[in-house]
Amino acid sequence: MKAIKIKLKYGLNTNPKTKSISGTSRQSSSKGSVTNYHVRKTATGNEPGTAKRPTQAETHRKESQRVTRTSRAVTFNTDVRTGNVIKDKWKLPTQRTEPASGLRGCNAAHEGQQLVNEVLRVPVDMLFDMLFSGTSKFVERLHAKRNSTDLRLGIWKVNRDGLLTRELQVTVQLQASVGPKCARVTEYYTQRSCCKPGFLYSIDVKSVNAGIPYEDAFYVAIHYCMLRTADNNTELKVFAEVKFVKSTWAVIQMFIQKHAYEGLHEYFSDLLQELLIEIASPQRQDILNTDRSLRICK
Ligand SMILES: [Zn+2]
């Protein structure tokens, strides 16, 4: 009798208020197909066979609008192996990704979301100086445009493992309508052993936040891959992943991931936009032309 009641409750009632998974439904999931059907329905949010799927044209139009709104130059949420767009913006890839072509020689795992995938018309050593030099005017301008303050650029030093490391500190503005309005960010940079100046820079960044809720529960791991192309330009790829260092409720993790990835997408969109402006500037073009002339003379 009890089983019949369960079937009626979960099999026929379409009131959304009764669709959430309860303890009763989980416990009885193996007792009958009706309860299993309920679980499937809850997982997808739609009844089997009746889910309204967008047409291919609709999906393509929505993706195009989303990318165009943010930045034409940035490739967001793409699977490294296939190049396909990941539909759920905040969902992390569940499989470890394999190095794509263009990442040859880099020994990193390339995990997490791919935030940047661009070929820039600038030599790889020059791009390294722009992004990672301890005296980079480009980084200073980028943070100034983002209204960040108290920027401290560290210089590269050799650590006990023989790897080059540096630190960067900056206070960034937060866009959230509630909560703190700024956060102190410390970034720890490490050049991987596979780096070959002139050809490949492989840099890991551990980004730690202070002054925000759950600041000690997580950090953000960022990986930069900069590879020289055959025509002396640079292929820039950036990956990022939120790493949790303390056990935290799933709902809190989702909250942290959502806001962290929002911040990352926003930052790298700004960074790429500023890079393109910088590379196209007359001053930078003069430097590039001089560099090309010297290369031809050699
Ligand atoms: Zn890499």
CA of 20 to the centre of ligand 1 (A): 42
> What is the pLDDT at residue 235?
96
Phi-psi domain of 5 (left: phi exceeds 0; alpha: psi -120 through 50; beta: other)? alpha
- 78, part of any domain: yes
More confident residue, 272 or 53: 272
* Domain total of the chain: 2
- Of the candidates 41, 291, 266, 32, which has an alpha carbon nearest to the alpha carbon of residue 274? 266
CA of 202 to the centre of ligand 1 (A): 5
Mean pLDDT over 246-254 rounds to: 92
- 55, part of any domain: no
- 76, part of any domain: yes
More confident residue, 254 or 74: 254
Residues 109 and 164 in one domain: yes
Q: What's the pLDDT band for 292 if we cut at 50, 70, 90?
A: confident
Residues 270 and 149 in one domain: yes
Q: What's the pLDDT band for 20 if we cut at 50, 70, 90?
A: very low
The answer to whether residue 90 scores a pLDDT higher than 60 is no
Mean pLDDT over 197-224 rounds to: 95
Under 8 Å between Cβ of 141 and 277:
no
Residues 112 and 10 in one domain: no
> What is the pLDDT at residue 94?
31
pTM across the whole model: 0.65
Residues 32 and 80 in one domain: no
CA of 203 to the centre of ligand 1 (A): 7
Residues 17 and 124 in one domain: no
- 51, part of any domain: no
- 251, part of any domain: yes
Residues 282 and 167 in one domain: yes
Exposed e or buried b per residue across 264-286, where buried means at least 16 C-beta atoms within 10 angstroms of its C-beta = bbebbbbbbbbbbebbeeeebee
> What is the pLDDT at residue 289?
83
Assign residue 106 the CATH number of its domain: 3.30.530.20
Residues 31 and 162 in one domain: no
Four-point Cα dihedral 273, 275, 276, 277, nearest 10: 90
- 109, part of any domain: yes
CA of 124 to the centre of ligand 1 (A): 14
Residues 34 and 88 in one domain: no
Residues 281 and 242 in one domain: yes
Instruction: Work out the percent of the chain whose per-residue pLDDT is above 70.
Output: 63
Q: What's the pLDDT band for 101 if we cut at 50, 70, 90?
A: very low
Spatial distance between the Cα atoms of 271 and 36, rounded to a whole number of angstroms: 47
The answer to whether residue 5 scores a pLDDT higher than 50 is no
Under 8 Å between Cβ of 141 and 274:
yes
Mean pLDDT over 138-145 rounds to: 96
Q: What's the pLDDT band for 57 if we cut at 50, 70, 90?
A: low
The answer to whether residue 264 scores a pLDDT higher than 90 is yes
CA of 268 to the centre of ligand 1 (A): 17
Under 8 Å between Cβ of 241 and 96:
no
More confident residue, 271 or 175: 271
Q: What's the pLDDT band for 214 if we cut at 50, 70, 90?
A: confident
CA of 242 to the centre of ligand 1 (A): 17
Residues 228 and 282 in one domain: yes
CA of 223 to the centre of ligand 1 (A): 7
- 54, part of any domain: no
- 165, part of any domain: yes
Query: What is the enclosing helix (H) or strand (E) of 235?
Result: strand 234-244
| Residues near 123 by beta carbon (within 8 Å), at least 6 away in sequence | 228, 232, 233, 234, 288, 291
CA of 149 to the centre of ligand 1 (A): 30
DSSP secondary structure string, 169-233? EEEEE---SSS-SEEEEEEEEEE-TT-BTTTEEEEEEEEEEESSTTTTSEEEEEEEEEEE-TTS-
Spatial distance between the Cα atoms of 128 and 10, rounded to a whole number of angstroms: 59
CA of 267 to the centre of ligand 1 (A): 20
Residue 18's domain comprises 2-44
Spatial distance between the Cα atoms of 31 and 20, rounded to a whole number of angstroms: 18
Q: What's the pLDDT band for 296 if we cut at 50, 70, 90?
A: low
How far, in whole angstroms, is CA 88 from its chain's centroid?
13
CA of 156 to the centre of ligand 1 (A): 19
CA of 97 to the centre of ligand 1 (A): 12
pLDDT in tens, 64-85: 444 333 333 333 344 333 334 3
Residues 146 and 252 in one domain: yes
CA of 112 to the centre of ligand 1 (A): 12
Using CB atoms within 10 Å of the CB of residue 120, give its burial: 0 to 12 exposed, 13 to 18 middle, 19+ buried. Answer: buried
CA of 190 to the centre of ligand 1 (A): 12
Residues 123 and 182 in one domain: yes
CA of 264 to the centre of ligand 1 (A): 18
CA of 196 to the centre of ligand 1 (A): 12
